[in-house]
């Protein structure tokens, strides 16, 4: 892909699962407070609120999968379940979300009950009255504990980028899908514009990787290749192709919508307040004070700094057009007949 691999990236790749778990211990609260229950980006219509755009992006993937009340669906890397709940309400499908992160922390001075992803997700699902349709489980998506052929369909929203090797997660999804089942994934990938010789490109890529605990960002072509390598779309009528692969960002902005990174640029407005510069400074000060007095775990302030670096990288890579977090790939597991 690109020759340069910094040492940090190699380590992140080797220890992907453990590192992601620790990362989400520290950042889940920041995400929920600053972004909401869904931890992903979305293009935004000019008369649409931030929240509406997020939900529409989730409904889009549900519509592409043609989800309905007869489907049992896997959400690969579900966070605290925002997309799962919105999609279940939209489609009436039954959804099982998996995430590697469940941690609770006690420090030596205080026992603070923290509800990380599975606990927090389950609690919100119960409050929403959606427990018949949605379930959050702790599970490594590189080593799924489901039987073969369990799910009718599967989706992943900006999660598989955490795998050291995409084939490792896609092959698990392929195994647990029933024959004929569909898998749709919003992938974080580099676009064709990325040039590893360009120092601005390289810096932005490295900031995104570091700030989001990613082992490495792969190219769009590589992600499609990984889909094919594990068997998606290998059916005569699809001519050995994945069903579809499209950059939703390009499609949306070519048709008048605002880019996904617009909210991160955070011009200060009432709606953007949680993502604004002022909120960032307040949060950072709070983190530092809470960590000093033992009310937040060690590393919280550093985690916030890393997130901010990630944000700068995301905005730069979005503006440069070298990266998209919504390269949507949809593949089908071959049915037995063909
Ligand atoms: C950016 S968040 C997206 C969460 C969710 N899809 C959403 O949009 O709100 C990435 C998610 O992937 C999960 N994840 C990363 N590596 C994982 C692994 N090896 N197994 C299971 N989940 C993992 C993280 O715990 C986190 O929930």
Residue with CA nearest ligand 1 atom 10 = 159
For the cut 80, the answer to whether the pLDDT of residue 37 exceeds it is: yes
Average pLDDT for 244-251? 95
Distance 99 CA to ligand 1 centre (A): 5
pLDDT of residue 117: 84
Confidence of residue 105 (pLDDT cuts 50, 70, 90): very low
For the cut 60, the answer to whether the pLDDT of residue 338 exceeds it is: no
Gap between the Cα atoms of 78 and 157, Å rounded: 8
Inter-axis angle of helices 82-91 and 50-64, nearest 10:
60
Site residues for ligand 1, CB cut-off 6 Å:
17, 20, 24, 38-40, 77-79, 82-83, 98-101, 117, 140-142, 157-159, 162
Mean residue pLDDT of the chain comes to 85
Nearest CA-CA partner of 121 in 93, 143, 88, 150: 88
Substitution candidate for ligand 1 out of 41, 77, 142 with most atoms within 8 A of CB: 77
Of residues 260 and 308, the one with the higher pLDDT is 260
pLDDT of residue 89: 98
Residue with CA nearest ligand 1 atom 4 = 79
Q: All domains of the chain, ordered by start, with CATH?
A: 7-332 (3.40.50.150)
Inter-axis angle of helices 7-14 and 199-211, nearest 10:
30
pLDDT of residue 275: 57
Residue with CA nearest ligand 1 atom 14 = 77
For the cut 70, the answer to whether the pLDDT of residue 282 exceeds it is: no
Distance 156 CA to ligand 1 centre (A): 9
Distance 197 CA to ligand 1 centre (A): 31
For the cut 50, the answer to whether the pLDDT of residue 19 exceeds it is: yes
pLDDT of residue 305: 76
DSSP element (H, E) containing 94: strand 94-99
**Which three-class secondary structure state does DSSP give residue 222?**
helix
49 Cα distance to chain centroid: 21
Distance 236 CA to ligand 1 centre (A): 33
DSSP element (H, E) containing 127: helix 117-127
Confidence of residue 234 (pLDDT cuts 50, 70, 90): low
| Cβ-based neighbour number of residue 268 at 10 Å | 12
Q: For 215-229, what is each residue's pLDDT tens digit?
A: 889 999 999 999 999
Q: For 256-265, what is each residue's pLDDT tens digit?
A: 999 999 988 8
DSSP element (H, E) containing 290: helix 277-292
Confidence of residue 108 (pLDDT cuts 50, 70, 90): very low
């Amino acid at each position: 892909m690109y020759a340069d691999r910094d040492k940090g990236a190699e380590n992140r790749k080797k220890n992907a699962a453990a590192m992601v778990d620790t990362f989400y211990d520290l950042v889940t609260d920041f995400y929920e407070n600053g972004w909401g229950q869904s931890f992903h980006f979305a293009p935004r219509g000019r008369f649409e609120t931030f929240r509406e755009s997020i939900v529409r992006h989730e409904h889009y993937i549900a519509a592409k999968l043609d989800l309905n009340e007869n489907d049992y669906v896997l959400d690969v890397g579900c966070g605290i379940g925002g997309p799962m709940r919105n999609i279940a309400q939209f489609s009436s499908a039954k959804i099982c979300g998996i995430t590697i992160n469940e941690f609770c922390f006690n420090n030596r001075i205080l026992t603070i009950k923290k509800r990380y992803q599975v606990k927090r997700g389950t609690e919100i699902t119960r409050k929403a009255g959606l427990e018949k349709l949605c379930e959050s489980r702790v599970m490594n998506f590189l080593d799924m504990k489901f039987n073969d052929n369990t799910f009718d369909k599967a989706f992943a929203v900006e999660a598989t980028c955490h795998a050291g090797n995409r084939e490792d997660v896609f092959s698990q999804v392929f195994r647990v899908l029933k024959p004929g089942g569909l898998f749709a994934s919003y992938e974080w990938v580099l676009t064709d514009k990325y040039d590893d010789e360009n120092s601005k490109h390289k810096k932005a890529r490295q900031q995104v990787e570091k700030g989001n605990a990613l082992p490495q960002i792969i190219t769009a072509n590589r992600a499609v290749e990984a889909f094919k390598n594990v068997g998606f779309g290998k059916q005569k009528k699809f001519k050995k192709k994945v069903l579809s692969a499209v950059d939703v960002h390009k499609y949306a902005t070519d048709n008048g919508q605002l880019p996904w990174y617009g909210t991160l640029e955070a011009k200060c407005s009432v709606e953007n307040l949680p993502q604004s510069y002022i909120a960032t400074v307040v949060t950072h000060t709070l983190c530092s004070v809470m960590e000093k007095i033992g009310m937040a775990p060690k590393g919280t302030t550093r985690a916030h700094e890393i997130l901010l670096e990630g944000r700068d990288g995301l905005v730069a890579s979005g503006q440069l057009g070298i990266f998209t977090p919504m390269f949507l790939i949809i593949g089908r597991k071959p049915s037995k007949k063909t």
